[in-house]
Each structure stands twice: as structure tokens, then as C-alpha cells.
Amino acid sequence: MKTNYLITRREALITGLASVGGLLLSGCNKKLPPTYGNILRMGDTFTYAAHQVLLPGESLVKEYTHGDISSFPATGTTNPGDPNTQFFSEQYRQLQKGSFADWRLSVEGLVSRPGTYSLNDLKRFPARTQITRHVCEEGWTAIAEWTGVPLSRVLEAVGILPTARFVQFYSYDQWADGIDMFDAMHPQTLLTYGMNGRDLAVPHGAPLRLRVERQLGYKSMKYVNRIVVKNEFDDGGMQGNIQNGWAWYVGI
């Protein structure tokens, strides 16, 4: 029967994928991505496994100099406070009117000290500044200088529990996305409030934008307002990447 044939074929492909993953990972005990085994998400497994094998633990992406900074288009949502946009947020509009003085980031989930942070609270952490290349899935790249607090500092401050495996992010324009602990603790993964020496502007995600430098641009979520530490994979449902046809792991 046709359906049987399809199921068999699918199983065969999944099995095939398993052995490719095994091959890539043999000789080291690194993990596979949580999307592993989903035939439509094969790319995740290849890039994830390749990264784990090829890049030593905390290897940094290339950082550039001031002379390399380029023009930087704003794409996707460029102002959640605009009533004419698809993902208008009245709350964001109010916060923007008050220059984000009342803005708070909520950090919760598998942490011993959940809490909220103002922009000034985040600025009191030791900052990191880096000039990196943003690579958009649509084919353009741009270089900018980012300033912010390493996500690892905030996670240390709230005390992530040993069972924590993923960090989920939520935004005012209703995005939901996550990264694993490896990317979360990476020294270049930042919660940024500054761009090219100025306060992060609204089109680029004010007041707080994630930078995940080892992955494509869409993992660097703008307008972040909530962070949840989890012990299981969460694809973000209809607000996440997978159900919108985008890969969860997009290493570059």
C-alpha cells in the first residue's frame, strides 16, 4: 500500500539520519539538537552536529573593527508601538512614550531567584561590546557594534537550576524562540541595549535585543520582554520558528 510505503520510507530516512548523526558525533559525546529525528528539520542536525564537532567549546565568532561598521537595514517588525502594524502592542506604545523608564524584563522558570530587571539594572552588570556581522536568512549581511550584558551574567544572577537545558525568549511583537544552554552561556550571546555607541533604536529592537552570534539573524530577537529557563524543548508553538517554516537551529 502506498501509505505503508511512505511510512517505511520515512522510517528509513529517519534511521538514515540517525546514522549520519551518529557518524558526525562519533568520537565525542556531544548532544544532538532537540529537533533531531524530524525529517523536515534535518538541517538543524547537520549544522548543530557540525558546530559541536568543529568549533571548540567557547570559540568566538569573528569580531570586526569600527571601520568595518556598515549601514544596517531594519527588517521584520520595526515598531511594535505603531497601531498600523500587524503585531501592535499598546503596552509597548506606552513604554516607548515614557522612554522605556517603566520597561521591565522578566526572568523566570527554572531559576532560584526569578525577578524583573529595569534597563538600569541591566546596565549595572559588567557590559560587553562587540562588533559582529549579522547574517539574515534573506541573503543580506551587515556589521554593527553591540553593547549589552552577557546573557550568562543574568542567568548566573537569577541562579539557573541544574536541570535547566533551554532558554526561551518572548517579545512585544509576539515572537517566541529559544536557544540551548550552550548558546545561552556563550560569551558573545548578549542582551543588548546599545548599538553603534548609542541607545538601541526602536527599529532595531529597543530597549533590549538578543544577540546570538553563531546563528542566523532571526535568532537575535528584538523587543525582548520575558526570559524563561526550561528543562524541555519548546518550539514556541504558533509564535515560534518551526511552525512558521523556519529552522530552530541555524548555525553559521
Ligand X SMILES: Nc1nc2c(c(=O)[nH]1)N[C@H]1C(S)=C(S)[C@@H](COP(=O)(O)O)O[C@H]1N2
**Other Cβ atoms within 10 Å of 149 Cβ, number:** 22
Give the binding range for Mo ion (CB under 5 A) out of 77-85, 119-127, 129-137, 189-197: 129-137
Q: Which residue is nearest to ligand X (CB)?
A: 76
Q: Please give the Cα distance from 35 to 12 (Å, whole number).
A: 17
Q: Please give the Cα distance from 154 to 191 (Å, whole number).
A: 9
- Residue 249 makes CB contacts below 8 A (sequence gap 6+) with 33, 35, 43, 44, 47, 48, 215
The site partner of 173 among Mo ion, ligand X, none (C-beta below 5 to 8 Å per kind) is ligand X
Q: Give min distance, CB of 32 to ligand X, in A.
A: 25
Q: Please give the Cα distance from 223 to 62 (Å, whole number).
A: 25
Among 250, 241, 247, 248, which residue's Cα sits nearest to residue 213? 250
Please report the sign of the dihedral spanned by the C-alpha atoms of residue 29, residue 34, residue 37, residue 39.
negative
Query: Which CB atom, from 70 or from 94, has the smaller least distance to ligand X?
Result: 70
58-77 burial code (b ≥16 CB/10 A, e <16): eeeeeeeeeeebeebeeebb
The site partner of 40 among ligand X, Mo ion, none (C-beta below 5 to 8 Å per kind) is none
Point out which residues bind ligand X (CB under 6 A).
72-77, 136, 171, 173, 175, 203-204, 217-218, 220-223
Among 48, 103, 218, 223, binds Mo ion (CB under 5 A): 218
Query: Which CB atom, from 136 or from 181, has the smaller least distance to Mo ion?
Result: 136
Q: Give min distance, CB of 23 to ligand X, in A.
A: 32
Q: Give min distance, CB of 204 to Mo ion, in A.
A: 12
Q: Please give the Cα distance from 36 to 18 (Å, whole number).
A: 8
Site for Mo ion in 130-169 (CB under 5 A): 136-137
Q: Give min distance, CB of 10 to ligand X, in A.
A: 30
The site partner of 240 among Mo ion, ligand X, none (C-beta below 5 to 8 Å per kind) is none
Is residue 217 part of the contact set for Mo ion (CB under 5 A)?
yes
Q: What are phi and psi of 219, to 5 degrees?
A: -75, -15
Q: Please give the Cα distance from 224 to 40 (Å, whole number).
A: 28
Which residue, chain included where needed, has cell 526570559?
Answer: 227
Number of residues that bind Mo ion (CB under 5 A): 4
Helix 2-25 crosses helix 42-54 at what angle (to 10 degrees)? Answer: 10
The site partner of 222 among ligand X, Mo ion, none (C-beta below 5 to 8 Å per kind) is ligand X
How remote is the C-alpha of 204 from its chain's centroid? 15
Give the binding range for Mo ion (CB under 5 A) out of 9-17, 124-132, 187-195, 217-225: 217-225
Query: Which CB atom, from 193 or from 218, has the smaller least distance to Mo ion?
Result: 218
Q: Give min distance, CB of 136 to Mo ion, in A.
A: 3
Q: Give min distance, CB of 189 to ligand X, in A.
A: 14
Task: Give the interface with Mo ion as residue ranges (CB under 5 A).
Answer: 136-137, 217-218
